[in-house]
Amino acid sequence: MSSAVSDTVASQHRHHEDIPPSQVIPHLLEELGDHHELNIAFTTTDVLPIILYDGGRWHFYQNVHAMEQAGEYRLVKGHVVRVQDGKSPTLDLSVTNLVVFQWIGMLIVLALFVLSARRYRRDPLAPPRGIQNAIEALVVYIRDEVVRPNLRSERLTRQFMPYFVALFFFILTLNLIGLLPGMHTATGAIGTTAALAITAFLVINGLAIREIGIRGWLHHLLGGAPVYLAPIMVPIEILGLFTKPFALTVRLFANMSAGHIILLSLIGLIFYFRSIFVAPMSVGFSIFIYLLETLVCFLQAYIFTILTAVFVGLAIGDHAHEHHAEQSSS
């Protein structure tokens, strides 16, 4: 294993040295995508397993090197293809570089909340401090300014606060990890943002069906219009059900990718022109974009979370508010 890893790293290092100036920027942009090797802290190691389903059976390989040695599949421009016909396998469930970064994000969020919870248990009446104070401020803000105004029910707010808090902190952590040198932004992959949007889609419609019933949910497809307009309104509302998660997917993916593309393009200008006069301008603009990206990390986590809450509120309508009012009056 160690020799295979060393050979991979050495070959990639030689490849980087041979890149012509005109191909520097395209090469840097390719690094933003997902990889079957682990790229972390400026090192590339071939340690990620390859899991494929093809031809009616499963194929498991220790890493890319082992897969290519077996002779059935090979890696072409970051994609696994069959050696025989150059086509992709039926299903590729391999652990990729950005999957590892998602795991890292999960561990960081879990560690932060476990640490904060331990401090609360140790001394519940002590004022929060440090990271505990920051987490509490964000959680309270999400509850009071994002979830409660849109769900309009204390019962639903208490039930779904864990989901919205986890959603916000997970996206924020993945965004911020991508700003660290040698790291990658998992939310810059459309697969990651699509998975988050699909989860939001299930929460939005699942909660609506639970609260207003399947008949109420189907009636909601009329959009408040008379029944005779159903042939027009129902297709429009059904289309709207899927455009919401699509918008969530593309918005987060595009915003997190755009900043990194600009940063790599600015840095790539130094190597493209090979001039000391270009460096001050590239570095100066890169610092500005980097600071702007820090703001975007928080902003995009907030936008994804509040839009999900807004869509949930629209899906359940006034039902939750009326139900809560009836309980209060009784």
Classified as helix, coil or strand, 302 is: helix
Q: Which of 96, 112, 138 is the last residue of a domain?
A: 96
- The reported pLDDT for the residue numbered 29 is 66
Residue 129 lies in a domain: yes
- pLDDT value of residue 261: 87
Of 96, 114, 143, the position where a domain reaches its end is 96
CA distance 172 to 286: 21
Q: Amino acid identity of 48?
A: L
The band of 324, judged by pLDDT with boundaries at 50, 70 and 90, is very low
Higher pLDDT among residues 157 and 9, named by residue: 157
The predicted model gives 203-219 an average pLDDT of 88
Rounded to the nearest 10 degrees, what angle do helices 190-220 and 154-177 cross at? 160
The model's confidence at residue 122, banded by pLDDT at 50, 70 and 90, is: confident
Do 170 and 267 fall within a single domain? yes
Report how far apart, in Å, the C-alpha atoms of 279 and of each of 233, 272, 328 are: 56, 11, 65
User: DSSP class of residue 147?
Assistant: I
32, part of any domain: no
User: Taking a C-beta distance cutoff of 8 angstroms, is the pair 9, 17 a contact?
Assistant: no
Confidence of residue 329 (pLDDT cuts 50, 70, 90): very low
The per-residue pLDDT for 27 is 65
How much is the pTM?
0.85
Pairwise CA distance, residues 265 & 286, whole Å: 9
Residues 110 and 191 in one domain: yes
Residue keyed to tokens 């059976």: 57
Q: What is the mean pLDDT of residues 26-53?
A: 85
Same domain, 191 and 260: yes
Res 119: pLDDT: 84
pLDDT in tens, 215-236: 888 887 877 777 788 888 888 8
CB 83 within 8 A of CB 23: no
pLDDT value of position 21: 63
pLDDT at residue number 176: 95
Phi/psi region, residue 317 (left: phi>0; alpha: psi -120 to 50; beta: rest), is left
Dump pLDDT digits (tens) for 241-268: 899 999 999 999 999 998 888 888 888 7
86 within a domain of the structure (yes/no): yes
4 CB-near residues (< 8 Å, 6+ apart): 46, 63, 65, 66
Dump pLDDT digits (tens) for 292-305. 999 999 999 999 99
Q: What is the pLDDT of residue 328?
A: 46
Domain contains 27: no
Domain, as residue range, for 83: 2-22+38-96
Residues 57 and 15 in one domain: yes
- Same structural domain, 109 and 89: no
Identify whether 172 is part of a domain.
yes
For residues 120 and 248, membership in a common domain is answered with: yes
Say what the pLDDT of residue 114 is. 92
Residue 89 sits in the same domain as residue 107: no
In a domain, 30, yes or no: no
pLDDT above 90 as % of the chain: 54
Please indicate, yes or no, whether residues 73 and 15 belong to a single structural domain of this protein: yes
Q: CB-based contacts of 35: which residues, under 8 Å, 6+ apart?
A: 44, 78, 96, 97
Whether residue 8 has pLDDT greater than 80: no
* Residue 28 counted as domain residue: no
> CA 106 to CA 310: how far, in whole Å?
25
Please, which residues bridge with residue 57 across strands? 54
The answer to the question of residue 182 being in a domain is yes
Residue 57 pLDDT: 94
Asked whether residue 290 falls in the same domain as residue 226, the answer is yes
Instruction: Choose the final residue of a domain: 78, 96, 114.
Output: 96
Comparing 35 with 321, which gets the higher pLDDT? 35
One domain for residues 222 and 82: no
Q: What is the helix (H) or strand (E) element at residue 329, kind and residue range?
A: helix 319-329
- Mean pLDDT score, 165-183: 94
Cα–Cα distance for residue pair 85/200, rounded to 1 Å: 39
pLDDT tens-digit series, residues 187-202: 999 999 999 999 999 9
Number of domains in the chain: 2
Residues 52-97 have pLDDT tens digits of: 999 899 999 999 999 999 999 999 988 899 999 999 999 999 999 9
Q: Tell me, yes or no, whether 55 and 76 share the same domain.
A: yes
Residues 75 and 112 in one domain: no
Structure-block tokens of residue 120: 């609360």
